[in-house]
Structure 1
Amino acid sequence: MLDIGYALSTRFPDPPQTDYRRADVRALRHDLFCGDVYLADTEKDEELSTAWGWVPVLDFAWALCDIVERLDEDPMGSRAARPQYAELDFTESTDRLLFERRFGWVDIEAEWLPGDTPPLTFSHSVLRREARDFLQDVVADLVDLHEDLGENPVIWELLSRFPRV
């Protein structure tokens, strides 16, 4: 089973003067809500996680949903033998998460881990469902912290683009 989670950083707080209602895409994706993220296979007790404190959590959730959709562009879908690749690069770093989909299964590797670390592997449908749930949960948590964020049109569009499955 896939578990995706996060923790907001106390070292990199959002600026106190932030107007969450009017924050633009750049601010929402790169400047706010910093912390750490993880993806875990709870059955195998394996995890890919950051420990940097500065990962933009909303951007991670957003990018993960984008990647899952990009990995589904082959018209053959889960029958496609040709691998499909995507990567998630972290702002302010050369580290990346690498995604490879083949036959409906997605391998996820973290470049910052030792080369002999096995990838996490999940079905594409599970990854899609969990990524969207994670995005919806992150936004709900952030709206609980910053009520005005729930009135931001960028957030409305994002949530409608990636509804829960």
Structure 2
Amino acid sequence: MLTSQKLSKKLLEACSNRNMKLLTAESCTGGLLSANITSVAGSSSVFSYGFICYTNESKSKFLNVSNKIINKFGAVSYQTVKQMLTGLCNQAETNTLTIAISGVAGPNRSEAKPVGLVFIGVKISSCKTEAIAELNFGNIERNKIQQKSVYEALKMSLNIIRDTSDYKL
């Protein structure tokens, strides 16, 4: 199994080969995804910036996530992550890979949602290709949920890029 650091390196290489930039919006991972990506030498040629939107207010302020969506579905939801991706894409240059993560890392439940529930979204700004996954890692340690979320986000991102490799960006 590849480590998150090796996946980060592969993702950066894949983005670089396609002249893609990379943006992130993280909640429950608190910047761990961005830290993994930027731990790779040369990442600055691909990684533009990331948001850590830990509160509902920050999701609305920086990513234009609708308060109605948050109130209706919760911060940890498919709908919120979809709007986080849209907010990133609205700020992105053409041909940018965007990644958004929101979840419950614990140890306490949030919004009546279980510890370990995470939504990860990946989208390329220049095409309609988008994937949003609902994952449940179970009631495990907080740092394990964060690490698994980062790992899955990197895998999803690589899969999206591979699936669109024939698409003329």
Using structure 1 for the length normalisation, give the TM-score. 0.28
Structure richer in strand, relative to its length: 1
Using structure 2 for the length normalisation, give the TM-score. 0.28
Q: Which protein is bigger by CA-based radius of gyration?
A: 1
